[in-house]
Structure 1
Amino acid sequence: MEKLIINGGKALRGRVKISGAKNAVLPIIAAALLGQNVPSKLEEVPALDDVHTLSAVLEQLGVKAEFDADKNTLLVDSSQIASCEAPYDLVRKMRASFLIIGPLLARCGRAKISLPGGCAIGTRPIDLHLKGFEALGARIDIGHGYIEATAPEGLKGARIYLDFPSVGATENIMMAASMAEGTTIIENPAQEPEIIDLANYLNVMGARVRGAGTNVIKIEGVKSLTGKNYTIIPDRIEAGTYMVAAAMTKGDVYIENAISEHLKPVIAKLKEAGVTIEENIDGIRVVCDRRTKAVDIKTLPYPGFPTDMQAQFMALLTVSEGMGRVTETVFENRFMHVDELKRMGANIRIDGRTSMVEGVDRLHGCAVKATDLRAGAAMVLAGLVAEGETRVGYIHHIDRGYDNLVSKLVMLGADIRRADD
């Protein structure tokens, strides 16, 4: 099994370019199913396992999806859709496969998708997706490990209130409603930049989506959409991860492509920790020449502190001066990285949804594992500052969300490599 081998203690210096956003490109690939007659050419598509998996799902539907790794482009030709059923062997790899239901309902009037193994509806609220589809007039059948949605008479516009601003539910409902008859109003939607990016792509294709990024989204349904060329926004979580890496290693890194507007809570907390941040139109420079100070963070839906940066900030707090509190309010079970950080010598105590992190003078390299995507990033960050060698296992999680992580860190001066066990 492949691992990352890290020898810590090197300050990161130089420039790193941020790739297209994982959380923007996946719904946009799904939305490409709506494009008729003309293919969509997506640019700044990151070379991620999740992108390859979703492209494979589209190919199973009879759609052409061709990725050019050299140019970071994905050509999606959905003029013909041969099947409306996504197979279990692909869907089990990635929850984002569920995003194809909305486009298939809108385009074909039917969608059938296998549930990922062990998926408990409601934990990460798939139920909100289903309520939205039902409000638009779809019939939902759940059984024998799959969900089938049908709308033989087409979807009808509706007013939909989301109990929680779920990103996936907002995206799925937006895509379904884009070709529904009449007007759809989504109240209390997610407001992330990735929602705005999806709305922009839909509008380029001919949709009429207004209010993305606010607390009410209005969608006027149209009869058809046409494939178009579109460039994906930079990944704010990747940018935030490199910002924390620069701070932890007492480095000086210019992060090309980073959009300050998308990173306000991360920037604010790093400044509070004593890090120097210089923002301009082309990117963000992060400079740190001393030990950071402990801060408190509390994850919230956008524009609050992102849950996808929680693990990385906890890694920062393990070597900061003083005690910081990390409160997770968005997802359950998102402290699995705590035990791995403690193996490296971190001083962390969990009390319900809050972790108290007392900074230590140094971490010690050892064998750890990436329990999920962002936990994996936290392990890499900890390894960059730990004494000795850190071996990070289960790195397939990291490959799902970080484009060329090892080569980018090496260019910044890190001692990191991939190796087979």
Structure 2
Amino acid sequence: MDSIIVTGGGPLKGDIPIAGAKNACLTLMPATLLSDEPLTLTNAPRLSDIRTMSTLLESLGAEVSPLSDGLVLAMSSHALNGARADYDIVRKMRASILVLGPLLARLGEAVVSLPGGCAIGARPVDLHLKALEALGADLDLRDGYVHAKAPSGGLRGGDVEFPFVSVGATENALMAATLARGTTRLKNAAQEPEIVDLADCLRAMGAQISGDGTDTIEIQGVDRMHGATHRVVTDRIELGTYMLAPLIAGGEVTCLGGRRDLLSAFCDKIEAAGGSVTESPEGLTVTRANGPIQAVDVETEPFPGFPTDLQAQMMALLCTAEGTSMLEEKIFENRFMHAPELIRMGAQIDVHGGTATVTGVERLRGAQVMATDLRASVSLILAGLAAEGETRVGRVYHLDRGYEHVVRKLSAVGAKIERVRDDE
């Protein structure tokens, strides 16, 4: 098992290239199941979650070939050999549930294990299932699996109104509806850039979709989908993570490929805290203003609000801010597990339910800490950039699920960071 060692001190300077979005790519990959023609994704991130989804698709009979050092994924589902997604693969990642809609739409049946992934809350799949039931699916949950069947003649269009916004349920319903007979309307749908990216890809495959990026998406079902080539959208969570690095350590960093419209609420908050964000054709340049970071209050919300996937990283920044900040987590009920690890580094954090109160300290101290989930792992690395001495972050296998070449990227802008085996 590996650890990452960060030694604090010194400003950062340079460029960091931002990869394609993990959350978008994990949604785009199951779209190959909708067609017997090839789907090619460019700008794909090179992550363990992508390999897990590849393994899952291959278990169903799809072909997945990484090309160009893994940045291109060439996929084909012309010879599917089953519709069962087994527990041994699905347990590793919650996004695995996204094969349910495409399998059901194309094959008329699917058996999919209930998923696993980071332990940051229940994240139930009931919204996925209710959406598919609205399209006529017959569902049965037994022995930890969802057994789904479409009615004779396939799924049919229908109105789906989500009781609260769910990105995954919107994605599953959107893919399933492309091959459903008639018109489907998804109401209170997620509006994330990853939803728009999926809709763009599905349209390239022949789907008839309108309203993506708003709270109501309309899909007119088609008889078949064809192949396409699609570029994965920039990873806005990786973007936001690296935008915080120069604010924590000092200096100036340009995040290549970044766009403000992907993170407008986040940009507003870091500017309120004392950062400067400048957009150019190359990307977003972030500079820390003179003086300490100022406390700000943060409330996580569905897009276009402040992303829950940047809450842990923002907390790391606010640990050394001047004043007291309130962070309210309204998406996942168990997403402050990084707080005790930051406290080991000298942070003053008080957690009550879904709210964390962070009182800034003059300086964090290096310590041995443990990653509890994907975003927590990188928040501890960011905190290490601001800490006095050495910070050793254990269990960084979480990091590999969502960040490619984090050591290389931070080293390139001047961070003192290395990855070591735990027996070193």
Aligned to 1:260: 260
- Partner secondary structure for residue 54 of structure 1: helix
Q: Is the 8 A contact 2:160 2:184 kept in 1?
A: yes
- Partner secondary structure for residue 420 of structure 2: strand
Aligned to 2:114: 115
Superposition deviation, residue 69 in structure 1: 5.5
Q: Is the 8 A contact 2:93 2:117 kept in 1?
A: no
In the alignment, the residues of structure 2 paired with residue 415 and residue 35 of structure 1 have an alpha-carbon distance, to the nearest angstrom, of 47
Aligned to 1:341: 342
Aligned to 1:404: 405
Superposition deviation, residue 388 in structure 1: 1.0
Mapping for residues 217-296 of structure 1, pairs under 5 Å: 217-288=217-288, 289-296=290-297
Mapping for residues 133-212 of structure 1, pairs under 5 Å: 133-153=132-152, 154-212=154-212
Instruction: Tell me which amino acid in the other structure corresponds to 1:16.
Output: I
Aligned to 2:75: 76
Q: Which runs of 4+ in 1 moved over 3 A?
A: 116-120
| More displaced 10-residue stretch of structure 1: 66-75 or 221-230 | 66-75
Say if 1:339 and 1:416 are closer, same or farther in 2 by CA, change over 3 A.
Answer: same
| More displaced 10-residue stretch of structure 1: 66-75 or 283-292 | 66-75
Instruction: Tell me which amino acid in the other structure corresponds to 1:400.
Output: R
**Equivalenced residues, count:** 419
In the alignment, the residues of structure 1 paired with residue 181 and residue 251 of structure 2 have an alpha-carbon distance, to the nearest angstrom, of 54
Say if 1:360 and 1:119 are closer, same or farther in 2 by CA, change over 3 A.
Answer: closer
Say if 1:66 and 1:163 are closer, same or farther in 2 by CA, change over 3 A.
Answer: same
- Partner secondary structure for residue 302 of structure 1: coil
C-alpha distance after superposition, 1:275-329 (max 9, x if no partner): 1111123311001143211110000111111101100000000011111110001
Return 5+ residue gaps in structure 1 as ranges.
none
Superposition deviation, residue 145 in structure 1: 1.5
C-alpha distance after superposition, 1:171-228 (max 9, x if no partner): 0000000000000000000000000000000000000011001011000000110121
In the superposition, the TM-score normalised over structure 1's length comes to 0.97
Instruction: Tell me which amino acid in the other structure corresponds to 1:401.
Output: G
1:330 aligns with 2:331: yes
In the alignment, the residues of structure 2 paired with residue 205 and residue 395 of structure 1 have an alpha-carbon distance, to the nearest angstrom, of 37
Q: Is the 8 A contact 2:321 2:361 kept in 1?
A: yes
Q: Is the 8 A contact 2:118 2:373 kept in 1?
A: no
C-alpha distance after superposition, 1:238-289 (max 9, x if no partner): 0100111111111100111001111101110111011111112331100114
C-alpha distance after superposition, 1:312-352 (max 9, x if no partner): 00000001111111000111100100000001100011122
Q: Root-mean-square deviation (CA), in Å?
A: 1.4
In the alignment, the residues of structure 2 paired with residue 265 and residue 354 of structure 1 have an alpha-carbon distance, to the nearest angstrom, of 19
Superposition deviation, residue 65 in structure 1: 0.4
Q: Is the 8 A contact 2:90 2:116 kept in 1?
A: no
In the alignment, the residues of structure 1 paired with residue 82 and residue 407 of structure 2 have an alpha-carbon distance, to the nearest angstrom, of 38
Return 5+ residue gaps in structure 2 as ranges.
none
Say if 1:118 and 1:12 are closer, same or farther in 2 by CA, change over 3 A.
Answer: closer
C-alpha distance after superposition, 1:136-157 (max 9, x if no partner): 0111111111111111411000
Aligned to 2:130: 131
Aligned to 2:419: 418
Instruction: Tell me which amino acid in the other structure corresponds to 1:249.
Output: A
- Partner secondary structure for residue 198 of structure 2: helix
Say if 1:196 and 1:118 are closer, same or farther in 2 by CA, change over 3 A.
Answer: closer
Instruction: Tell me which amino acid in the other structure corresponds to 1:183.
Output: T
In the alignment, the residues of structure 1 paired with residue 111 and residue 8 of structure 2 have an alpha-carbon distance, to the nearest angstrom, of 48
1:8 aligns with 2:8: yes
Q: Is the 8 A contact 1:34 1:225 kept in 2?
A: yes
Say if 1:147 and 1:215 are closer, same or farther in 2 by CA, change over 3 A.
Answer: same
